């Protein structure tokens, strides 16, 4: 299928034009829905894989998901630092300097390796996997499988998940890529 696409571009001379114009392929084939990625796009892209309805794990997963969405919204509206400080958390200078730079794109990049949704979509489809583990709280990701792992335990359901998400983003080495 990709070969046919390339042949079609070549037939009309578009392939040579793309190859000769630096950045043209990115301009033509990357998704630009209104420019910046917003919270709704991240939530729509990262589908949660909840336990079945009625399972006792589901309630805790929904709590963690609600906290994840609240974190994304606080990034978008610029209130993350205030929210973290309201929970009596002492932020480091590095955390304070990075918080204003955060955007919802950072979470998408952390989970998938891409700051925007590609024109042809993601393969495999990005998802949020809930891991029930009392020993871990800092989210992790596998960009090759487009998976974001959110840990479900007493700390993440009863505590402040936002700081763990911030720590994950800071340790993910994504700030040089956007």
HEC string of the chain equals CHHHHHHHHHHCCHHHHHHHCCCHHHHHHECCCCCCCCHHHHHHHCEEECCCCCCHHHHHHHHHHHHHHHHHHHHHCCCHHHHHHHCCCCCCHHHHHHHHHCCHHHHHHHHHCCCCCECCCCCCCCEEEEEECCCCCCCEEECCCCEEEEEECHHHHHCCHHHHHHHHHHHCCCCCCC
- Which tens digits make up the pLDDT trace of 17-56? 888 887 777 767 765 555 689 999 999 999 999 999 999 9
Average pLDDT over residues 107-121: 90
Average pLDDT over residues 109-116: 92
Examine the pLDDT at 156 and tell me if it is beyond 80: yes
Examine the pLDDT at 135 and tell me if it is beyond 90: yes
The model's pTM is: 0.80
Domains identified in the chain and CATH numbers: 1-30 (no CATH), 39-171 (3.30.2410.10)
């Amino acid at each position: 299928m990709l070969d046919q696409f390339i042949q079609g571009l070549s037939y009309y001379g578009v392939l040579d034009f793309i190859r000769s114009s630096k950045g043209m392929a990115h301009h033509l084939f990357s998704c630009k829905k209104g420019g910046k990625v917003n919270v709704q796009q991240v939530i729509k892209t990262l589908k949660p894989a909840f336990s079945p309805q009625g399972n006792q794990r589901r309630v805790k997963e929904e709590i963690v998901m609600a906290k994840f969405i609240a974190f994304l919204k606080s990034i978008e509206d610029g209130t993350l630092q205030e929210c973290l400080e309201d929970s009596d958390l002492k932020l480091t200078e590095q955390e304070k300097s990075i918080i204003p730079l955060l955007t919802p794109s950072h979470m998408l990049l952390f989970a998938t390796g891409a700051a925007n949704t590609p024109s042809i979509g993601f393969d495999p489809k990005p998802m949020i996997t809930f891991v029930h583990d009392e020993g871990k709280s800092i989210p992790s990701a596998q960009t090759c499988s487009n998976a974001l792992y959110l840990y479900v335990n007493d700390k993440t359901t009863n505590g402040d998940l936002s700081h763990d998400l911030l720590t994950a983003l800071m340790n993910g080495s994504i700030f040089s890529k956007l």
